Structure 1
Amino acid sequence: MRNIIFLIILLGLFACTNKKEKNNGKMAIKANFQKALSCEDKIENFKINKSEDSVLSNDIQYINDSVLKGKFKLDISRYESKDIQKKCLPNIIKKDLFYEYPVEGDINFIKDFKNLGDLDGDKKNDSVFILPGLNWCEEGQSYYFTNNKIPRIQTESNCCHTESIFSIGDIDENGGNEIAEYNSSCTSNFKAIRIWTLKNSQWKSVGVFTFYYNNGKYKAFEDFHKLYKKISKNKFQFLEISDRKGDGSLIMKWHTIQM
């Protein structure tokens, strides 16, 4: 009897080992098959398997025709090199995600543009708009401009609004306006305001300031013009509001920036 029980256990162990080896073989074949797929094949699979209300995040024809609707023809080739395409495949996203909620109110599925004046000195007005990340390596939305010569500004936030970009005038007097980016995580009381200047067709950060949202005195959007002032060519001041004390008084300071 003992020999029979031992034989049953031995056969059971052999069967489990054999099944595991078969499963591992299937997994290895599947993994090798996925690895063997080219980027083009993977993208084709994405296109085939996506739902009707979804689109690839870098579908530039959809972006230009259905999102921007002829108001501007965006060129994303500078952000979509072959190396990037190999490392960072596009996301499959809902078409609704190409539209962002305004600071106040409901989403209206009409792309929002904000005029910032002339940013690059070509005597033409430039506007800003927002798009989601082009691929899975981009963690947040980006600010784009209605001029393909002006590079986008990437963020790690999915709480971007066109209202969050402000023109602060031509501080360096080179013909193009400098801009401020109000950076919000949507939940924190402590926001950041970054000042950008366009130099040699690239954005350069010239200052970052804390803005305590519930400060009780200055509203981020309505009162933004009160937070900065130009002193002279290449020089301006910005009011940083870093916190609020227990007695209600604000911790704030005017910073002077030399560009």
Structure 2
Amino acid sequence: MRRVLFCVFSILALCFCHNSKNDKPINLTASTKDSLSLKDRYTPQHLKTKLLNSPLLHPLVKRHIKDSNVLVLLEYLTDNLDTFKKVKIVGDVNGDRRIDSVQLMPELMYSHDYGYEDGIAFVFSDPLIPRIKINTLCANLECLFSIGDIDEDGWIEFGLYYTSCASRYKTLILLRCDKKSTWKEVEYCAYDTYFPEPHFSSRIRKIKKNQYEMTEITNDNLDDFGKLKKIIRYTIAE
């Protein structure tokens, strides 16, 4: 009888240990080894060589391709080179009296909340201006537009039209460069594609120093297809 009970308890213990191992959450934090393997996966050498020799890409984009800390999606970049070779003039971004431009770059991004995601980076022609990164491939150069220098610190603020491709509702985001190192979200509002006018690039505007307004237009009453226009004024905290 003791032998039977011992066998039963042993089997239960093994089953419990097996289930506990399977239920253990996966750690998405990449180690150095993991990062290197991802770099090899997303930067095949033949594509890397081809793009580094291409006259269509900005030197700063090529610098990111060679950077071991940046995971550029080279296959996606190669397949959509007609899109990514385009350049947009955005004016003097950082007050150095030089006209800056921006070019798109597909990039593998990591966050603690979502893990690894394919996204787009807006790469500026001036290496002193940090790139703007978003976790969606549904972006083009028109999605980024200048608002002007709202806080009058010498750096202009940008509006961003963010879309996940499928949804009717998009998001308009106001971006501000914090300490000249990172672009951070200041405020956002909804953009209902059922009401495309006025254009999204005119729905965020400066009123005066440290003050701006955002315009949001959505359905007010689905029965008679009315719409609600909401204009909200904000103040940037100094």
Instruction: Count the aligned residue pairs.
Output: 196
Q: Does 1:93 align with 2:75?
A: yes
C-alpha separation in 2, matches of 1:252 and 1:196: 23
The answer as to whether partners of 1:97 and 1:132 remain within 8 angstroms in 2 is no
C-alpha separation in 2, matches of 1:96 and 1:187: 24
C-alpha separation in 1, matches of 2:209 and 2:170: 28
Corresponding position of 2:125: 146
| TM superposition shift of 1:139 | 2.1
Which residue among 171, 176, 185 is the counterpart of 2:150? 171
Which residue among 185, 206, 219 is the counterpart of 1:230? 206
- TM-score, normalised to structure 1's length? 0.63
Q: Does 1:257 align with 2:234?
A: yes
Which residue among 153, 159, 167 is the counterpart of 2:138? 159
Give the alignment of 1:164-243 within 5 angstroms.
164-201=143-180, 202-215=182-195, 217-220=197-200, 224-225=201-202, 227-243=203-219
| TM superposition shift of 1:39 | 4.1
Q: 1:96 to 1:236 in 2, by over 3 A?
A: same
**Secondary structure, in 3 states, of the residue corresponding to 2:91?**
coil
Q: 1:190 to 1:113 in 2, by over 3 A?
A: same
C-alpha separation in 2, matches of 1:37 and 1:194: 33
C-alpha separation in 2, matches of 1:68 and 1:116: 19
C-alpha separation in 1, matches of 2:55 and 2:218: 38
Letter in 1 for 2:226: S
Q: 1:78 to 1:177 in 2, by over 3 A?
A: farther
Q: 1:235 to 1:147 in 2, by over 3 A?
A: same
Corresponding position of 1:129: 103
- TM-score, normalised to structure 2's length? 0.68
Q: 1:123 to 1:43 in 2, by over 3 A?
A: same
The answer as to whether partners of 2:159 and 2:204 remain within 8 angstroms in 1 is no
| TM superposition shift of 1:217 | 3.5
Q: Does 1:73 align with 2:60?
A: yes
C-alpha separation in 1, matches of 2:99 and 2:231: 30
* Larger Rg belongs to: 1
| TM superposition shift of 1:203 | 1.1
The answer as to whether partners of 1:91 and 1:135 remain within 8 angstroms in 2 is no
Letter in 1 for 2:192: Y
Q: Does 1:43 align with 2:40?
A: yes
Q: CA RMSD in A?
A: 3.5
Which residue among 49, 72, 85 is the counterpart of 1:111? 85
Stretches of structure 1 lacking an aligned partner (at least 5 in a row): 1-35, 100-107
**Secondary structure, in 3 states, of the residue corresponding to 1:76?**
helix
The answer as to whether partners of 1:113 and 1:129 remain within 8 angstroms in 2 is yes
The answer as to whether partners of 2:84 and 2:103 remain within 8 angstroms in 1 is no
Q: 1:233 to 1:163 in 2, by over 3 A?
A: same
The answer as to whether partners of 2:212 and 2:233 remain within 8 angstroms in 1 is yes
C-alpha separation in 2, matches of 1:151 and 1:76: 12
Deviation string 1:155-187 (CA, Å, 9 cap, x unpaired) is 121111001100011111122211101011222
Stretches of structure 2 lacking an aligned partner (at least 5 in a row): 1-32, 111-115
Deviation string 1:205-257 (CA, Å, 9 cap, x unpaired) is 1111100011154343xxx22x2332211111111224453222222311112
Q: Give the strand-richer structure, 1 or 2.
A: 2
